[in-house]
Amino acid sequence: MCGIVGVTGTQEAASILIEGLKRLEYRGYDSAGIAIQRPHGQYVVKEKGKIRNLEASLDWNELKGTCGIAHTRWATHGVPNRDNAHPHVAGKIALVHNGIIENYAALKVQLRKKGRVFSSETDTEVLVHLIDDLYDGDLVTAVQKALALVDGAFGIAVTHADEPDLIVGARRGSPLVVGVGDGENFLASDVAAVMGHTRQVIYLDDGEMVVLRPGSVQTMTISNEAITKEVQEITWDLGQIQKGGFEHFMLKEIFEQPTTIRDAFRGRTLPDTGDVKLGGIQLTDWELRNIRRIIILACGTSWHAGLVGEYMLEEYAHLPVEVEYASEFRYRSPIIEPGTLCLVISQSGETIDTLEAMREARRRGAKILGITNVVGSTIARESECGVYIHAGPEIGVASTKAFTSQVTILGLITILLGRRGHLSADRGTQMLKELDRVPDLVQRVLDQAERIKDIARVYANHHNCLYLGRGVNFPIALEGALKLKEISYIHAEGYPAAEMKHGPIALIDENMPVVFICTKDSAYEKVVSNMMEVRARKGRIIAIATEGDTEVAQRADHVLYVPPSIPMLQPILSVIPLQLLSYHVAVQRGCDVDQPRNLAKSVTVE
Ligand code: AGP
């Protein structure tokens, strides 16, 4: 998720663009750049880091011009540095992009054959070279031809030095909005960047383009059919917009999950062969086949994702797995034999306990595969190979979308290793088909948000809560309890349901809410018996159950239904109601949901 802004009009563009970027900084903040149209070509400046770094390196005398585009980056392909920052330039064309070009590697090979030279690691630079390669005096046509060859998601803004006050924009899968002004027009990833200048906007839909000049706005499809778009009035304030109309970043990030889960596996699945391709894993099939043991290192929510990964890898890749608290692992004397692969999971990529545990494992001979959300983070840089989860910036301290994307990536790694072992192509294809359904199934769970809010009201004043699940739902019980603890300050514990009888059952009475994750799987009947044990002691029960399961409804005070999926992917669905429940309980209790007390988004101290 990056931020794009463009303007063509009568005012000096540079200050408008810089102001717009600052309002989009929550979308990405690892590098930024600007391109201003001037009589003798475009003036392009790019800088690593926050907008203020770019601002500091600008020569405002050089920035005279009333048309330009700008970008703030959240890296997906290529570490945060000046070369990988946008705008990317080819010939006289400058381009800024938000999204992922899935087939960029194949296009790059063809363009290289035509003598094209690339100066960055990005997928985006391939697109600007493709447009330049197809350019024949008309930028709109060149963009249309190029986009017809592109797979993946994009929101782009493009300028050409020979067409000085023109900006061409297009979208598929990434947001783009036009700001309609008086003698000036704007383009941006969201209205936050334009609302200082106009409240008249046009929302582009997938497959649509816009041609902007100071006095005109033309909209058409990427296949060049003219379309008429409605101009709408912005009624929100800035804070609301940056949160996408949600009250908190955490809630926005919970609702982003249908998109972020799809972005996690976008361009990485090979349904025909039931396999996956993970470009960042530079291991040969021989090396993958000779992995003998997996150690997962992580902290907090990432550790819970690792526990789900353990079930997947043992079940479908037949590999022995240990999930270690990174903070404990680094001070033990772990035995690392040849053939040990270490999966190091960290949203931020900077958590010191995880980083040091990774270094310890490597010191002892393990191969390191990093799974992180932040491109160029320390864990990413120090891992031999890795996979980015592509969840976009996660602002809320309580991790939500990163968790479901981590589990999705662990699913892909399970298929990668399984297909080089016992997993058949058919089975792999089935799993990928199921994975492709997950984003829509998650949306079905999110549609129950209002009902979950009502249930939260019932439990908001309790002081304790127990979360119970069996098998792959045990880690989800742990994750649900962690979410409630960290944002509502209610003491909560997650437990394997069968363990309840060995102690925690003593806590059960009419004041102890118990959340059961009891979706239909091989442990279902056993979990229902555990529910009866709680019922017998007057415990209040909230059940996460499979759609259509009326039996559980008779045994629980409240039931939240999730659609069925295969066991390996069910945790992605079962965690959503728990995220929403903890969110609404915290809001009811007046807690600062995005910045909970005593917590940091990235724990970089021991
Ligand atoms: C989760 O909501 C917390 N923010 C915390 O437990 C977090 O998961 C942990 O600090 C690990 O962070 P990481 O994934 O960035 O390494």
Average pLDDT, the chain: 94
Q: What is the pTM of this model?
A: 0.83
- Phi, psi (deg, nearest 5) at residue 15: -70, -35
Cα–Cα dist 409/371, whole Å: 8
Give dist(CA 550, CA 541) in Å, integer: 15
Where are the extended beta strands (E) located within 338-392? 340-346, 367-372, 385-388
* pLDDT cut 70: percent of the chain above it: 99
Q: Helix or strand or coil: residue 280?
A: coil
Specify the pLDDT at position 595.
Answer: 83
Least confident residue range of 28-37, 300-309, 336-345: 28-37
373 pocket-lining for ligand 1 (C-beta < 6 Å): no
Please give the single-letter amino acid code of residue 193: A
Look up residue 248 and give its DSSP letter.
S
Mean pLDDT of 28-43: 89
pLDDT above 90: residue 185: yes
Per-residue pLDDT at 28: 80
Ligand 1 atom closest to the CA of 398, numbered from 1: 2
Is the beta carbon of 370 within 6 A of some atom in ligand 1? no
Under a CB-based contact definition with an 8 Å cutoff, are residues 261 and 230 in contact? no
How many CB atoms sit inside 10 A of residue 116's CB? Answer: 17
Higher pLDDT, 545 or 102: 545
Widest CA span in the chain: 82
pLDDT digits (tens, 9 = 90+) for 144-156: 999 999 988 899 9
pLDDT tens for 439-488 read 999 999 999 999 999 999 999 999 999 999 999 999 999 999 999 999 99
pLDDT tens-digit readout, 512-523: 999 999 999 999
Ligand 1 atom closest to 406 (CA):
14
Query: H-helix or E-strand containing 211?
Result: strand 208-213
Q: Which two tokens stand for residue 304?
A: 């819970």
From 350, 351, 598, the mutation candidate for ligand 1 (largest count of ligand atoms within 8 A of CB) is: 351
Taking the CA of residue 301 as reference, the ligand 1 atom at the shortest distance is: 8
d(CA 346, CA 344): 7
Is residue 308 within 8 Å of residue 472, measured between CB atoms?
yes
125 Cβ inside 6 Å of ligand 1: no
CB of 406 closer than 6 A to ligand 1? no
Please report the atom of ligand 1 found closest to the CA of residue 599. 4
Between CA 319 and CA 130 the distance in angstroms is 43
Note if 601 is an active site residue.
yes
* Closest atom, ligand 1, to C-alpha of 483: 2
Q: How confident is the model at residue 561 (pLDDT cuts 50, 70, 90)?
A: very high
Residue 318 CB neighbours (<10 A): 12
pLDDT at residue 602 in the model:
84
Token pair 């936050």 in the structure block, residue: 192
**Beta strands, E only, 503-597:** 513-517, 540-546, 558-562
Q: What is the pLDDT of residue 74?
A: 83
> What's at 11, amino acid-wise?
Q
Phi, psi of 171, rounded to the nearest 5 degrees = -140, 145
Residue 463: per-residue pLDDT: 95
Q: Catalytic pick from 50, 145, 453, 601?
A: 601
Pocket test for ligand 1, best of 399, 482, 483 (most atoms within 8 A of CB): 399
In this predicted structure, what is the pLDDT of residue 584?
98
Cα of 304 vs centre of ligand 1, distance in Å, is 10
How far apart are the CA of 431 and the centre of ligand 1, in A?
Answer: 28
| Nearest protein Cα to ligand 1, atom 7 | 300
Concerning whether 465 is annotated as a catalytic residue, the answer is: no
pLDDT greater than 80 at residue 530: yes
For residue 121, the CA-to-ligand 1 centroid distance in Å is 29
From the number of C-beta atoms within 10 Å of its C-beta (0-12, 13-18, 19+), residue 272 rates as: exposed
The answer to whether the CB of 397 is under 6 A from ligand 1 is: yes
Reference 479, options 303, 350, 346, 314; nearest CA is 303
For ligand 1, say whether the CB of 219 is within 6 Å of any of its atoms: no
